Amino acid sequence: MKFFFTIDALSAAGDKAWRLQQDRKSWRPCTYAETASEADARIFETSESEGWTGRRLKADKEHGLIIKEKPGTFDFLVRGIYSHAVLHRQSAAPLPGKVQMIDTITSLAPGTPWLVYLNVAGQFKAIDTNSSRIIGNLDIAVRGEIASSENYIGPKAIENEQMMNELYHQFIAGWDEHLQTSQMAVFIPDTEKLKEESFYIEHIQNWQPENQ
């Protein structure tokens, strides 16, 4: 799987966006998550991309955008311009596997607050939210809800076939949104907002990567 990140800054209203350039200092106006150009900074290391994510910036008439300090825990409440990592895929994206989702969920031990998610490779993974961070984690392409009850994770969860079917439906809907928008950490949609499962499967199978 081939991919890289660009760093896009987005205004509070979402009506203006800028993209970090190769010099790691200048920014050009852009449409958020647009196709990468030659002058854009292309970041292939996830750790470097995570370092750029969530930076607060301010507009300066003379210098364009200026990076302010890394925001604190509660700074997300402050409106302003923030940086986001945008994923650009250069190879096909798989259809996530339902069996792999079920295997991942049933292998988890109840009593721990697990987050089940799809990584950028379309694989189901889980992290213990007691010890692993969620915000700014660029391995998380699509995320579910945090759960610890044996009704939702662990060997007993597989007994609820309807729940498993609905959850897979939600995850592939979220995966489709992730592919179409390049956004990270997409929340799975509510079941009442879902289209037919076949719609998402066809959309995912017909999706094309950037031609770079």
pLDDT digits (tens, 9 = 90+) for 89-118: 999 999 999 999 999 999 999 999 999 999
Q: Average per-residue pLDDT in the chain?
A: 92
Per the model's pLDDT, the better-predicted residue between 196 and 212 turns out to be: 196
Q: Could you tell me which of 119, 115, 116, 169 has the C-alpha nearest to residue 141?
A: 119
Range name among 10-14, 27-31, 116-120, 196-200 with the lowest pLDDT average? 10-14
Q: Checking DSSP bridges between strand 17-20 and strand 27-30, what pairing results, if any? A: antiparallel
> Which residues lie below 8 Å from residue 62, measured CB to CB, with a gap of 6+?
none
pLDDT class of 1 with cuts at 50, 70, 90: confident
- The pTM for the full model equals 0.89
Residue 180 pLDDT greater than 60, yes or no? yes
- Return the pLDDT at 137: 94
Range name among 5-9, 109-113, 133-137 with the lowest pLDDT average? 133-137
pLDDT class of 65 with cuts at 50, 70, 90: confident
pLDDT digits (tens, 9 = 90+) for 136-152: 899 999 999 999 999 99
Q: Could you tell me which of 39, 36, 41 has the C-alpha nearest to residue 52?
A: 41
Containing 125, the helix (H) or strand (E) segment is strand 124-128
Mean of pLDDT values over 61-77: 65
> Which residues lie below 8 Å from residue 167, measured CB to CB, with a gap of 6+?
101, 105, 144, 188
pLDDT class of 22 with cuts at 50, 70, 90: very high
- Residue 197, token pair as written in the block: 């499962």
- Return the pLDDT at 79: 74
